[in-house]
Structure 1
Amino acid sequence: MPKTILIAICAGLLSLVAAMPALNGAPGGLMLFYVASLPIYLTGFAFGVTAGTVATLSGFVAAATLGGVLVAGVFALVHLLPAFTVIRQAMLQRTAPDGHTEWMSPGPIVASLSGLSAGLLLLAGLVFMANGTGFSIVVDDRLTDVLKAMAPQMPEAARKEMVDAYAPLLPASLGSSWVIMALVSATIAQSILARAGRNMRPTPRYANMVLPDWISWALVGAAVVSLIAGGEVKFLARNLTLALAVPFFLLGLAVLHQWARRVRRGTLALVAIYLILFIVGWAGLLVTAGIGVVEQWAGIRHRFIGPASGTPPHDDE
């Protein structure tokens, strides 16, 4: 057996070992769960798509063997599917006319991952509606069950108030967290490999990220439906809109990082921006996503900060 394949198999098993405590409900397993896919990203970015694919398959087979179909399905959905998607996209390359290698830029990777998240939400919503059970009702019921299990002494009125507050955007929140978790793990893996000199591709210039046009039209379409529809369709479209807004939030952050490079005490300005985002919550996230939308359609980095190098879908390395 080639050494690379053996490493990939071990990476998939190590990923499962990190995820299993949380999958089994063990206390303290959540932190490991968040970084469980890191071994797979390290393998894929160091040895290529084939090794990354072997790592994901070995993790899935081991999860199905040890934990059953349900555990394997959750593990695959949360960790293996996004890892495979990111690795496959990130390792795409082409030879430019001048002979140098161009790699897939981060914009299409982020858009693909968010599109996958939105697609899964859409599929879930359509399945529930086809079965005669509203998506919003299922979310309300599941969130109520979780709150009852976590805080059985909570008054019914307080529990209902929490459900009413969080349930309307819970699918989008979970989908957005899914995307961010995958991107953070991928970024950490690339950073580790770059420091060790084992990375196959150069580290992307995230501050120069450019999104593909299709994600803009998908966002606009979902937003329009959320405004004109009602009931379950409105619930689904609203969550799709927020899930598709994640790339624009990251693009907005890229614009702010570019701006910080041009001002005095830019690091302090970035710290203040992130602190404000943490304090104001959803409002700050939406404003940042709005900056990303303006950048995508009007190119404010080019007009006010300076042109972003590279054109989609590849980095200008």
Structure 2
Amino acid sequence: MPTAMLVALGGGAVSALLYVSVLFAGVGALILGYLAPLPLFLVGLWFGVPATLIAGGLAAVLVLSATGGLLGPLGYVVTGAVPAAFVARQALLARSTAKGDVEWYPPGLLLLGLTGLGLVAFFVAVLLALGEPGGLEGVVRRTLQGMARQLGAPGDAPPPPEAFWLAPAMPGFVVVSWLVMTIVNAALAQGLLMRFHRNRRPPMRLVAMELPGWVVLAFAGASAAAAVLPDGLDFLALNVALVLSLPFGLAGLSVVHAFANRQSAKVALLVGFYLFLFLFGWPLLLMVGLGVIEQWIGLRRRWARVGPDQEDE
């Protein structure tokens, strides 16, 4: 059997095992569930889309056998197999330039493609919830109320659905969380392949990521619409803005990495920054703002021209 087929079948089996581990091992295995797409990304970035489809198809069948229902494999396909196939296809696209060099698909456009998948998933959820009272926002509020009832003391009345002020933004946060999980798994897969010299494309450097200018206008438009549109439409605009904030958050991080590259204590600076980021959380908002500013000013390009050992005149 060809190596690609063996790796695809093995990757699919491991991915399915990681995915269903959360169902049988509980919350303690949640990290394994987050890593479920990793084998698919390894297969895809190594052998391409066909191998990814084989691995994802086998994993979906195994998840179906383990769960006995369609919800499990459907969730697996949407959150794992589809993004892995998309990333494998786009990341391995390349063309020859006039100088004879190989030009790979830009990381910024790949990120925007994933963001588009997140927006599609959000609007599909909106359509599926049209028949529910209050639409998707109502579903989210009632779900949070049910969770509060389960976590509360017996006999205590749960807060009413209106008490969950964060509910309108929850779909956007869920989509962003899923996209971050996807990006982390893809980055881990590419890093592992590079470690064992099995990567087909060179590394996708965060500092080299470029976003097209129209994304700023889309993000600004969605943010403004969330502030002025009436009930219902503001919910849609708010969540679109939240999902579109992800590329700018990563653009802000790329500025931090570019600044760190100019310092002698690069590793210590980045470790301290990420610890601060994950401990407090709110600096993520600053990263989004920094990413928007980067689109207009181009700090990374200026620093790249100056170089780490020159003065910025």
TM-score category of the 2 structures, normalised to the smaller one: 0.7 to 0.9
Inter-CA distance 168–60: structure 2 relative to 1 (3 Å threshold): same
CA offsets, 1:82-135, max 9 Å, x none?
212212211111112122222112211111111211221123224434666322
Between 163-172 and 240-249, the greater mean CA deviation after superposition: 163-172
- Match of 1:52? 52
Q: What's the counterpart of residue 103 of structure 1?
A: 104
Q: Is the 8 A contact 1:260 1:266 kept in 2?
A: yes
Aligned residue in 1 for 2:70: 69
Give the whole-Å Cα distance in 2 for the aligned partners of 1:290 and 1:130: 37
Q: Do residues 174 (structure 1) and 186 (structure 2) align?
A: no
Alignment: residue pair count: 305
Q: 1:267 to 1:7 in 2, by over 3 A?
A: closer
Does structure 2 retain, via aligned residues, the 8 Å contact 1:226–1:238? Answer: yes
Quote the offset at 1:152 in angstroms.
Answer: 4.5
**Are the aligned partners of 1:19 and 1:29 in contact in 2 as well (CA < 8 Å)?**
no
Which blocks of at least 5 consecutive residues in structure 2 are unaligned? Answer: 307-313
Structure 1 residues 269 and 156: alpha-carbon distance in aligned structure 2, compared to 1, 3 A threshold: farther
* Matching residue of 2:291: 292
What SS does the corresponding residue of 1:231 show, helix, strand or coil? Answer: coil
TM-score (structure 2 length as normaliser)? 0.88
Letter in 2 for 1:278: F
Counterparts in 2 of 1:1-317, with a 5 A limit? 1-23=1-23, 26-67=26-67, 68-129=69-130, 133-153=134-154, 155-156=156-157, 159=159, 164-281=164-281, 283-303=282-302, 305-306=303-304
Query: Would you say the 8 A contact 2:142–2:161 is kept in 1?
Result: no
Separation of aligned partners in 1, 2:10 and 2:155 = 44
Contact 1:23 1:71 in 2 (8 A): no
* Root-mean-square deviation over aligned CA pairs: 2.5
Q: Deviations over 1:191-221 (max 9, x none)?
A: 1111111111111122111123453343233
Displacement of 1:11 in angstroms is 1.1
233-242 vs 260-269, greater mean Cα deviation:
260-269
Q: Secondary structure at the match of 1:28?
A: helix
Deviations 1:45-93 (A, max 9, x none): 1112221222122222333344321111111122112212212211111
One-letter amino acid of the structure 1 residue matched with residue 197 of structure 2: G
Q: TM-score, normalised by structure 1?
A: 0.87
Q: Which runs of 5+ in 1 are unaligned?
A: 309-317
Report the CA distance shift for 1:71/1:28 in structure 2 as closer, same or farther (over 3 A): same
TM-superposed CA distance for 1:291, in Å, is 0.8
